C-alpha cells in the first residue's frame, strides 16, 4: 500500500507533465509569430493545453489525498486504534476527506467565476487540515527538504 502514491505519481503525473509542457511551448510559439504570418501550429493547442492542465492538477491533488489517507489510516487509525479511542475524530477526518474530494469534483464542473474560486479554496483548506493531522510525518525542522511540504505545495 505504501507504494501506491509514488507509483501513481510516476505512471500518471510524469507523462502528463511532459505533455502539458509541450502544449504550453506550442501555445507560446503560436502566439509569438514575429512577422505576423499565420502559425503552422494548429489552433487546438490552446484548448488541449487547458484540458491537460486541468487533468494534471486533478491528478496531483488526488495523489496527495491518497498519500494523506494512507498515512492517516495506517499510522493513526489502525496503529494507534484511534477508532476505539476517539470515533468522533475519525468521523471528522472522514468528513473532511469526503468534502475535499467533493470540492475537487465540483471545481471541474463549476462555470461561474465565484464557484471556480470557492471550490479550490475549500479544497486547499481540506488538504491543509488533512495534512496537519497527528499521523502525518512532516519534518518541521527541515522544511526545505520535506517531502510533505513539497507535496502539499504542489497540490495547492
Query: Would you list the domain boundaries of the chain?
Result: 4-155
| pLDDT (0 to 100) of residue 34 | 58
| pLDDT (0 to 100) of residue 31 | 72
Between the two ends of the chain, the Cα-to-Cα distance in Å is: 24
Does the pLDDT at position 80 exceed 80?
no
Which residue has 510525518 as its cell numbers? 137
Q: Evaluate whether 130 touches 61 at the Cβ level (below 8 Å).
A: no
- What mean pLDDT is predicted for residues 84-109? 89
- What mean pLDDT is predicted for residues 123-140? 86
The pLDDT confidence band at residue 35, using thresholds 50, 70 and 90, is: low
- What mean pLDDT is predicted for residues 128-139? 84
* Helices assigned H by DSSP within 33-146: 45-72, 82-85, 87-109, 113-131
- In tens, the pLDDT along 45-71 reads 888 988 999 899 999 999 999 999 988
| CA separation for the pair 71, 99 (Å, rounded) | 18
Number of other CB atoms surrounding residue 103 within 10 Å: 21
Does the pLDDT at position 88 exceed 80?
yes
Amino acid at each position: 500500500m505504501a507504494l501506491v502514491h509514488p507509483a501513481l505519481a510516476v505512471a500518471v503525473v510524469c507523462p502528463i507533465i511532459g505533455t502539458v509542457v509541450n502544449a504550453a511551448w506550442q501555445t507560446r510559439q503560436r502566439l509569438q509569430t514575429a512577422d505576423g504570418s499565420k502559425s503552422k501550429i494548429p489552433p487546438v493547442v490552446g484548448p488541449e493545453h487547458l484540458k491537460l492542465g486541468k487533468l494534471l492538477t486533478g491528478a496531483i491533488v488526488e495523489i496527495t489525498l491518497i498519500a494523506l489517507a494512507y498515512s492517516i489510516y495506517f499510522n493513526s487509525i489502525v496503529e494507534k486504534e484511534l477508532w476505539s479511542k476517539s470515533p468522533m475524530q475519525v468521523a471528522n477526518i472522514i468528513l473532511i476527506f469526503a468534502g475535499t474530494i467533493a470540492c475537487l469534483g465540483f471545481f471541474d464542473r463549476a462555470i461561474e467565476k465565484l464557484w471556480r474560486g470557492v471550490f479550490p479554496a475549500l479544497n486547499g483548506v481540506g488538504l491543509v487540515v488533512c495534512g496537519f493531522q497527528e499521523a502525518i510525518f512532516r519534518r518541521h525542522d527541515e522544511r526545505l527538504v520535506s517531502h510533505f511540504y513539497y507535496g502539499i505545495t504542489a497540490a495547492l
